[in-house]
Structure 1
């Protein structure tokens, strides 16, 4: 049983857009019935929907699935991103944020500097912390950062360190992943961001980020976190060299893990940014592809509480549209985000809570502060 109470009725869920597609393709009608009953669909059915369902059909189907779970509610928080260092020991081709040790433009933030920044943010509810794998940073820095934030902000939600960073902490400390996570949780960690999953494809890992942990290692760390009651997010980086099949395989694998652990909180589809990296010859995903990926994510991930319209990567206007294509979470105020800023060469637009509320109400939604 999922977390919804509304009675499911396929006949009442039909709409003009769905009906017009069903007239042309009876196979899609059978698949859609399972989607609208929030039942899992298999690889072949998901791929068929993604390829044969047009943009508006997928959007309508995903929106109805979203409303089964959340009604007209759309979520956001008052948060701030902290990217504590851009120095990184691995060279992912899609990343224009990282610097090598000693390279011009590299930086590392002092913990006191981070605390000062957080204290300047009014009504803060969450801090989101990710960074590079800096060979010069000791293990104690990571633990102390969490502990000192928790001490200064007893009520704040601390979402910090991707599975890639947790693996790095295990390596530099000589501790197991479980031991690292236990220490972080004891220091005050609440949850883990979803970055570093990229695409669960060894072909793509070998081509674009061979030094990064494998999909199997990412999954192992996420499952370990879930076993310790540390929720995590999950991501998909799309719009580069991945195939349709690899997108669907990635989503179904996440659904299978969630069925086992119940530990994922939110899925974040990340649109590849072509600027400022060695893949800049690629065009990046179109708005059409972005909306289709968000829709198929909601459709496949029937056991994920939230699908995020990550406006930092999508842009505010497209992220607002994505809320009508199955997403229910608009992320938050962010304040600053250095990863996209350095790649795009332009600052992230700060969103106020009032502006987020306006954007949600404009599409007929009810803003809910987390």
Structure 2
């Protein structure tokens, strides 16, 4: 029996204990400052332990942002660059292969590939990034391209999204990350990323990917100009997609970083507090009853908040995250890589059991020189 006692949470507590689905109205109650955060966290922890026990998952991964030159000018982005900007870059084949070699040498099981939409880059270059890595480092799972990028590739090739996904899968694409979601509601999306792929294209991409057997993640960028209604609307839409396809593996709430980008500077937005981070983590766990895993992305949250998140609904802390650039450009002060020993220590300090998993949530088994994916980790319903 839970210890929560706030009257405002009593109906939600009854639903959570009974394993019943929460409504949008319940979500808005959870968003209210009148709903005590420790009690919201306690409810989320009940669901988290019901699904994933005492596990604290992590993986050994690296990021590849092959170019930061981008045709879009999203107001929240500090990573993008113009073609003639001194900070702009565009990797060649040798640089991409070097990054793959480094990943394999450091025991990585996954490469997370996203970046800018370079207006001079042809579709074949983006495809070659995948085929080069897959042909030369086949043990690496390539988690690549947000729906914003897939939508851009469809425009470049004048082909349907499904064709692009099929072609990328043939080249070696293993799964899709969850980025590009930001906030789905048009009231907010039109203000922060007006010209890039809208919510309908985001959902079409994930729906088509799932129909092709590709799994994907999902995200929400919070703490800027959105309101609680927009966040709950976002989560309900994700839940409906999962009801339809079952292809979403993990939800990652992303805390907005206001430094070095136009949105933060012009609106004078402050970074979300640790309390807001924990509330959004917990609400995600409570609302997304059909998504197995909730990730506390330590790069954005900071290590300490990520640790606490493991008792506020999260069961995954991401991984070593070698070479992450996007959030560090936006002001993240976390390390640019964390060792396996440190990740396991961080998880153990919370009382959780560290478990290495691959991208598809299979337990990783290692010996001195190699690794293999074991049985798939199955969360409880």
Using the size of structure 1 for normalisation, the TM-score is 0.92
Partner of 1:14: 2
Aligned in 2, Cα 1:347/1:284: closer, same or farther, shift over 3 Å? closer
Partner of 2:355: 368
Match of 1:143 among 99, 109, 127: 127
Partner of 1:6: none
Q: Which deviates the most, 220-229 or 340-349?
A: 340-349
Contact 1:341–1:348 under 8 Å retained in 2: no
Partner of 2:325: 338
Partner of 1:274: 258
Q: Which deviates the most, 94-103 or 325-334?
A: 94-103
Partner of 2:367: none
Q: What do the CA deviations read for 1:78-110 (whole angstroms, capped 9, x no partner)? A: 000111111110111111110122222111111
Partner of 1:112: 94
Is 2:241 the counterpart of 1:253?
no
Partner of 2:373: none
Q: What do the CA deviations read for 1:105-135 (whole angstroms, capped 9, x no partner)? A: 1111113212212212311100000001111
Partner of 2:375: none
Aligned in 2, Cα 1:345/1:55: closer, same or farther, shift over 3 Å? closer
Aligned residue for 2:175, secondary structure, equals: coil
Partner of 1:358: 345
Partner of 1:71: 53
CA drift at 1:141: 1.2
Contact 2:302–2:334 under 8 Å retained in 1: no
CA drift at 1:345: 7.5
Is 2:234 the counterpart of 1:234?
no
Alignment of 1:189-338 (within 5 A): 189-278=173-262, 279-280=264-265, 281-338=268-325
Contact 2:300–2:334 under 8 Å retained in 1: no
Alignment of 1:94-133 (within 5 A): 94-121=76-103, 122-133=106-117
Segments of 5+ residues of structure 2 without an aligned counterpart are 358-381
Using the size of structure 2 for normalisation, the TM-score is 0.89
Segments of 5+ residues of structure 1 without an aligned counterpart are 1-12
Is 2:12 the counterpart of 1:31?
yes
Runs of 4+ in 1 over 4 A off after TM superposition: none
Contact 2:299–2:334 under 8 Å retained in 1: no
Q: Which deviates the most, 160-169 or 214-223?
A: 214-223
Distance in 2 of aligned mates of 1:104 and 1:170: 29
Contact 1:50–1:292 under 8 Å retained in 2: yes
